[in-house]
Amino acid sequence: MDRVLARPWCRDLAAQHGRSWVAARLRAVLDQLRNGRLALPATDEGLADLVRAEAARASAPSLRPVVNATGVVLHTNLGRAPLAAEARDAIAAASGYGNLEFDLAAGERGSRYVHCVGLIAELTGAEDAVVVNNGAGALALALASLAGGKGVAVSHGELVEIGGGFRISEVVEAAGARLVPVGTTNRTRLADYARAVESGGVGAILKVHRSNFRMTGFTSEAGLSELAKLGAEAGVPVVYDLGSGLLVDPSGLGLPPEPTVSDGVSAGLDVVVFSGDKLLGGPQAGVLAGKRAAVSTARSHSLCRALRSDKLALAGLEATLALYRDPERARERIPALRMIAAPAAEVERRANAVLDRVLAQQPSREPSVPAGVEAGGSLVGGGTFPGTRLPTALLVVRAGEAAEAWLAALRSHDPPVVARSRKGRVVLDLRTVSPDEDAVVASALASASARLGSLLVDAQLAEPS
Ligand SMILES: *Cc1c(COP(=O)(O)O)cnc(C)c1O
């Protein structure tokens, strides 16, 4: 050990990672050589390569950038919304010292809760807003601060689970309030809320936007404005959990109707709660926006401190929100919106170009794996727009039994490319790939084909959609 550690290459590694850490990696390699799991290298340089490889493996960061070729735009497992360049720059700029809680004009202590508020008010019509760590936190804060430990009236049809085991019924309880279910699963009228409020003990009314599933058939629900009116008359705050934070008209993105934050605010609800990293396209954040009194109550609750947003998220959110001053600019600059709005023909052109690049890069042996571009559907994701499929073009590799091996090969690329498979078909949707990453997808496919078989363009498959 000591002799190896004294060698120049080992000293170089130690300068990079620290001597004791490198000694531990060397010990691991020597153990593997002793028990035969690694072949004994013939030269000192061979040993150096083994230890360097072990050091590289052990020091690789846990959190890595990946290429999202799944076609799910707001992919929660892949970090939801990719940020606009403006937001990335703002986050980098905010990484050092900043006026997070410092009033530069007065030269004294300020409040972190002032940031983003003016923009949110400007964009949504809200009187005031508070930004916290995420949407779930914003909802918990709204209920804890506004329901005052009393009952929260919620429609039976809105006692939903959002994902990751986050259930409305449990959030109400965690916020120290009591669930008061009203109406039925399919139909809840204003009178149902009114009856609950009249019978006493209700501290807040909660309306939850059913963002992640659809209910059709014999259904009805109370409107936002009538709920706001009922709440105002009874002196009971109304909280609207909108979920996704849509700030632009969805028809401009080719999406079906869906309430925006402004819809909730203009209906006169006390607070609208939404997420920063769903349809808003910003960093992880939760926003509570609405009437001055309700927001102020939430901001002074002790839970607000526990859920507060960090400077990086605030910087990213502010830069993202600023792009919405011009909705056209927001659609162009915010990747999630741009990806949702991308026409299928553009995705198809890129898919064909990637396929051509793979054919040019792959080894010139007998091609055997059919591949092509065909029509399909992308998803908005993040538990939004259930059942909406955005027409797209898919790059398909008919790998059969080897489909999982192809997916694993794509994931082993640096950076990893995450795709999907269905019934022996490996499917890549470039809608969710930034155009400047197309070359990465081509190189990942070419490396996979070098291992698993060359692609054969299947005219049947490649027919225009
Ligand atoms: C996603 C969602 C939330 C939670 O927001 P996060 O930012 O993911 O914490 C809450 N309510 C609804 C309706 C949602 O769709």
Cβ proximity of 371 and 455 under 8 Å: yes
pLDDT tens sequence across 248-290:
999 999 999 999 999 999 999 999 999 999 999 999 999 999 9
What are the tens digits of pLDDT across the range 10-30?
A: 999 999 999 999 999 999 999
Which pLDDT score, from 0 to 100, does residue 127 have? 98
> Encoding tokens for residue 110?
């300020």
- With CA atoms as reference, report the closest residue to 368 among 443, 425, 452, 461: 452
Ligand 1 pocket, 309 CB below 6 A?
no
Q: What is the mean pLDDT of residues 362-373?
A: 87
E strand residue ranges, 92-184: 102-103, 108-109, 128-132, 151-155, 178-182
**Is the shortest distance between the CB of 381 and ligand 1 below 6 Å?**
no
CA 385 – ligand 1 centroid, Å? 13
Average pLDDT, the chain: 95
Q: Whose CA is nearest to atom 11 of ligand 1?
A: 243
| Chain centre distance of CA 379 | 13
Taken in order 304, 230, 205, 185, is the CA torsion positive or negative?
negative
Per-residue tokens: 108: 């004294």
Compute the chain's Rg from CA coordinates. 27
pLDDT digits (tens, 9 = 90+) for 208-234: 998 778 888 989 999 999 999 999 999
What is the 274 CA–ligand 1 centroid distance (Å)? Answer: 7
Looking at residue 283, its pLDDT comes to 98
pLDDT beyond 90 at 237: yes
Local confidence band at 57 (pLDDT 50, 70, 90 cut-offs): very high
Whether 243 is in the pocket of ligand 1, judged by its Cβ within 6 Å, is yes
pLDDT for the residue numbered 460: 64
Worst-scoring range by mean pLDDT, 87-101, 246-260, 284-298, 358-372?
358-372
Q: Measured on CA atoms in the order 290, 166, 243, 417, is the torsion positive or negative?
A: positive
Helix %, strand %, coil % of the chain (to 5): 45, 20, 35
Tokens of 58: 């052990």
Ligand 1 proximity of 383 Cβ (cutoff 6 Å): yes
Q: Would the pLDDT of 54 be above 70? A: yes
DSSP state of 6: T
The structure's pTM equals 0.94
**Of the candidates 205, 186, 188, which has an alpha carbon nearest to the alpha carbon of residue 197?**
205
Residue 85 phi, psi dihedral angles, 5° rounding: -55, -40
Question: How much distance in Å is there from the Cα of 55 to the middle of ligand 1?
Answer: 40
| Class for the domain spanning 67-73+341-462 | alpha beta
| Residue 404: band (very low, low, confident or very high) from pLDDT cuts 50, 70, 90 | very high
Give strand pairing partners of 373.
395
Residues 6+ apart with CB under 8 A from 53: none
Helix 311-323 / helix 117-124 crossing angle, nearest 10 deg: 30
The whole-angstrom separation of Cα 267 and Cα 248 is 17
162 CA from centroid of ligand 1 (Å):
6
With residue 25 as reference, give the H or E element that holds it. helix 19-34
Q: What distance in angstroms lies between residue 296's CA and the mean position of ligand 1's atoms?
A: 22
Cβ atoms of 446 and 361 closer than 8 Å: yes
For residues 406-429, give the mean pLDDT.
97
N- to C-terminal Cα separation, the chain? 63
CA–CA separation, 375 and 362 (whole Å) = 24
Domain limits, the chain:
2-59, 67-73+341-462, 82-333
User: Quick check: CB of 145 below 6 Å from ligand 1?
Assistant: no
453 pocket-lining for ligand 1 (C-beta < 6 Å) = no
Closest atom, ligand 1, to C-alpha of 168 = 11
Backbone φ, ψ for residue 278 (5° rounding): -100, -120
Instruction: Tell which wins on pLDDT, 161 or 392.
Output: 392
The contacts of residue 116 (CB under 8 Å, 6+ apart) are 129, 131, 287, 314, 317, 318, 321
Measured CA angle at 53 (ends 77, 1), to 5 deg: 130
Residue 433 has pLDDT above 70, yes or no: yes
Closest CA to 348 of 65, 71, 73, 67: 71
% of the chain surpassing 70 pLDDT: 98
Burial 235-254 (b: 16+ CB within 10 A, else e): ebbbbbbbbbbbbbebeebe
User: What is the reported pLDDT for 465?
Assistant: 43
The stretch 376-380 carries a mean pLDDT of 97
Would you say domain 82-333 falls under CATH 3.40.50.1950?
A: no
Is residue 383 within 8 Å of residue 395, measured between CB atoms? Answer: no
Asked if 235 and 204 touch (Cβ cutoff 8 Å), the reply is no
Ligand 1 pocket test, pick from 210, 241, 385 with the greatest ligand atom count within 8 Å of Cβ, gives: 241
- Does residue 96 register a pLDDT over 90? yes
pLDDT band of 464, cuts 50, 70, 90: very low
Give residue 463's pLDDT.
47
Confidence of residue 363 (pLDDT cuts 50, 70, 90): confident
Q: Please identify which residue in the block is written with the tokens 């085991």.
A: 165
- C-beta neighbour count of 276 within 10 angstroms: 29
Q: Does 246 sit in the ligand 1 pocket, CB within 6 Å?
A: no
Cβ 275 under 6 angstroms from ligand 1:
yes
Can you give the pLDDT at residue 19? 94
Residue 459 confidence class, pLDDT cut points 50, 70, 90? low
State which ligand 1 atom lies nearest to the alpha carbon of 275: 7
Between strands 128-132 and 286-290, the pairing is: antiparallel
- Determine the pLDDT at residue 122: 98
